[in-house]
Amino acid sequence: MNKISERQIYFFLACIAPVAKLIVMPARLAGYCGNDLWLPALFQFAVQSLAVFCALLLAKRGKSLYDLLADRTGTIFAKIVVLLVGAFLLFAGILPLLEQKLFVQGVFYDTLPSILSFAPFFLFLAYLCSKPLASYGRVFDLLAPIALVGLAGVLLFSVGNADYGAILPVGASGARGLLKGTAYSFAWFYDSALLLMMLGKFDYKKGMAWKGAVCYLAGGAAVVFFLVVFYGIFGGTAVNQFFAFTKTSKYFSGFTVLGRVDYLFIFLLSLASSFYTALPVSGAIESIVQAFGQKKYLPTLLSVFLAAGYFLLTYLLDFRFGDVMRAIAEQAFYLFPAFALLLPPLLLFLLIGGKHETA
Amino acid sequence: MKISGNLQKDVAAFKKLLPAEDILSFDFVSQKGLAFTVLFADPITDKELLGEQVIRPLLRYEGTPKAEDVGKKITSPEKRTESDLNKLSEEVLAGNPVLFFEGMDEAIIVGTKKVFVRAIAEPSTDVAVKGPREGFIEDIKINTSLVRRRLKTPELRMDFLNVGRRSDTFVAVCYLEGTTPQKTVDEVKQKLKEIDIDIVPDSSYLTHFLASRPYSLLKQIGTTEKPDIFCAKIAEGRVGILVDGSPIALTAPYLLVEDFQSSEDYFVPPYRATFTRVLRLLALLVAIYLPAFYIAAQLFKLQLFPIKLLMTISGSIRDIPFSPSLEMLLVLFVLEVLNEASIRMPKYVGMALSVVGALVLGETAVSAGFVSTPAIIIIAFSGIGLYAVPNLIEQTSVLRLIMLLVAGSVGTYGIILATAFLLFYLVTAENLGAPVLAPFSPMVGRDLRDSLVKYNLGSLETRPRTLKSKNKRRLKHE
């Protein structure tokens, strides 16, 4: 359990990372660029896969982000960068957390429940984040088939109900719409930054960088296909369909006899997304541990403290999800490409030509 | 304390060590006038054998008072000499008589222990339609012979230890040298040696000390009552532990998937074995989750029911005075009580209990409007599902209750979170270096061939990689 395996990294990139993009992002993209919603997503997956490629290349030396930087630039600069990445992850983690909360309240209950119905998640968050980041590796092994079956099931019930002509003509939203969609969807793409915090937790294997990028693109292809189906079903009303993956399958005719069996697949996707929601927080804790050294109760204390902080934040922002999302995705969107797109190649460039020490 | 050679003094010293009233002595003199005293524990010594193999030949003894010569006259195949009184007293307590005689500073221990054993029978917890029907019994010697009969190889090692300050229970650590990783063997032996407990009445006592997480809700050490399964597990590279007085053998490291496999799976076609394994998993999931989802759907998400079923359910629960959670808990409580009572009750009362359970508590409670029919059907189905994987009953019944409580308070999302907790707990659990959830997490491709899916025997060429066996290949094709 000390190391994440090569396969587990691929599973994360291909099956688990895409799930988080299926909750609120489709409706937002439909709002920004209508029938072209799949184009910004395609672009995001393409550029993010390049960042994933760079982040995986950094794993060649078998060192953590902090150690890599400390070797080249000294400990102070390394601490600053690692803590900045941690702070970014804490910031980035707010959106999926609020999404998750809204999703739970909207999908799992017939009437709007109290905020306390979501409170157990923070216990789970505290428990999960108190464990080393490397223990996620085995979770990825288990969640990959779960997410795959979940997505396949939802798509199976949805594909027959879509009008694929709805996505034509391509480019109807114009350059402005596409640009807006691309810029404002950055908030859902920071998987390469998560990989940066996993450095040192897995060993680089030959060809891992391009294989990882391909896996990410494969997961992206599934998301893009889902977006097409989503718009094909809802058309102009897609903008109002939050929690996309719970909505597309509900028109399947067999449900009158079977009941909403698609909920079984939705539950599987929810299970996968609850682990993904905790990942940025675990990444942030890892950054603090790397910067200040492994102390016995530090991860546990931090996880409890951060889970409590997030709970408070969620409680305070209970009915202000729209404002928070606009603030993160529309006003502070530039933070995401800075950390998730520029940082991995920049680090690669900085560390190329450094001392080639082996782990 | 050593033997002095003075018979009277030695016997007196021995009786001082073992003053219990069931420790008897028998004095006799040979034809040549040599005085002997046999000391033995009355209830556990075979006196007929003692008379036949020891006393009768020695009555005619005419040789010198030397242990070597006296030993030759004793016809028992199990005999040896010892001069330490403490060790001799341990032997007497184990059922082996001790022979003292005048002028010798050594005593002879004779193996005429009386063995009380029940016949080897098919274990009631692991019944097989096809395949061997033998089961372990309470005697460790017979159990080791059952193992030895199946593994006729010098590589089979049985290291014996004594555990328990007062019970001094015999424990055999069985493994295949060159196949089982030595690290695992050493770790098991070390853990057994470190046990400081009064008595070990059953092997289950040892599981607590062998487990990495002793207070865990989930199982961490494998158990079996069948020698064929025990040997198969040893042959895969595990360590087997037999405990005197217990018919339940332990195996370690334990993988969760073991409990979904039955010995019969290896004697039927692979497609059938795969089908039954998947069926067991589904039954287990139904047992744990069905009552919980039923409650969560009723309380928080009615959409989960098809419309016609929803109408049927709403018709049946309309006049029930309890909340859905309380109703389900009540039915579950009755089921658990009936279950517990039927196991402990004498068999002839069992039939009456079934009638009371099914008719009085079931039918009458429904017609009286205390509980609804769907609740009884769901709990009954869950109860049956529980027994599809008999080795996990203790764990699944607790998990079912937890899920039920969570569903009643937080709904479906609570069930999902509890499942996430459980999954994370399981994936991080390890025992003796083996991950409990392997070969699924971490995924071990080759080991999946004998997991929930069962490949043809010809495809199972290697031992499970999870167990890190030194000798990897178990099957060679021509």
CB contact under 8 A, B411 and A109: yes
CB contact under 8 A, B416 and A256: no
CA angle B310, A244, A12 (to 5 degrees): 110
* pLDDT at residue B127, rounded to an integer: 79
Q: For A269, which residue in chain B has the nearest alpha carbon?
A: B416
Instruction: For A290-300, write each residue's pLDDT tens digit.
Output: 998 877 788 89
Point out the residue among B307, B410, B427 whose CB comes nearest to the CB of A142: B427
For the entire predicted model, the pTM comes to: 0.86
* pLDDT at residue B171, rounded to an integer: 94
Q: How far is CA A59 from CA A18, A344, B421, in A?
A: 22, 11, 30
- A-chain residues within 8 Å CB-CB of B437? 138, 142
CB contact under 8 A, B411 and A108: yes
Residue A13 scores a pLDDT above 90 = yes
Point out the residue among A109, A113, A124 whose CB comes nearest to the CB of B421: A124
% pLDDT > 70, chain A: 96
**DSSP state string for B70-119:** HHHH---S-EEEE-BHHHHHHHHHTT--EEEETT-S-EEEE--B----PP
CB contact under 8 A, A127 and B421: yes
Residue A357 scores a pLDDT above 50 = no
**DSSP state string for B211-225:** -SSTT-SS--SEEES
Q: What is the mean pLDDT of residues A88-105?
A: 91
What is the rounded average pLDDT for all residues in chain B?
88
Is residue B24 a contact partner of residue B42, using CB atoms and an 8 Å limit? yes
Minimum mean pLDDT range among A99-103, A122-126, B199-203: A99-103
Instruction: For B285-319, write each residue's pLDDT tens digit.
Output: 999 999 999 999 888 887 777 777 888 888 888 88
Q: For A105, which residue in chain B has the nearest alpha carbon?
A: B413
Provide the shortest C-alpha distance from residue A80 to chain B (in Å). 32
The ipTM of this complex is 0.91
CB contact under 8 A, B435 and A121: no
Q: What kind and span of H or E run contains A224?
A: helix A208-234
Q: Which residues of chain B have pLDDT under 50?
A: none
* pLDDT at residue A359, rounded to an integer: 38
Point out the residue among A137, A141, A271 whose CB comes nearest to the CB of B416: A271
Point out the residue among B306, B419, B443 whose CB comes nearest to the CB of A7: B443
Provide the shortest C-alpha distance from residue B363 to chain A (in Å). 28
pLDDT band at A173 (very low <50, low <70, confident <90, very high): confident
Provide the shortest C-alpha distance from residue A291 to chain B (in Å). 25
Q: Which residue has the tokens 């539950």?
A: A267
Q: Which residue has the tokens 């989503």?
A: A230
- A-chain residues within 8 Å CB-CB of B435? 1, 138
Tell me the C-alpha distance between B295 and B323, whole Å.
Answer: 10
Spatial CB neighbours of B280, under 8 Å, sequence gap ≥ 6: B260, B388, B389
- B-chain residues within 8 Å CB-CB of A257? 306, 308
Q: What is the mean pLDDT of residues A306-322?
A: 88
Residue A358 scores a pLDDT above 50 = no
| Secondary structure percentages of chain B, helix, strand, coil, to 5 | 50, 15, 35
Instruction: For A262-297, write each residue's pLDDT tens digit.
Output: 888 999 999 999 999 999 999 999 999 999 887 778
Instruction: For A199-218, write each residue's pLDDT tens digit.
Output: 999 999 999 999 999 999 99
Both tokens of residue B374?
């769907």
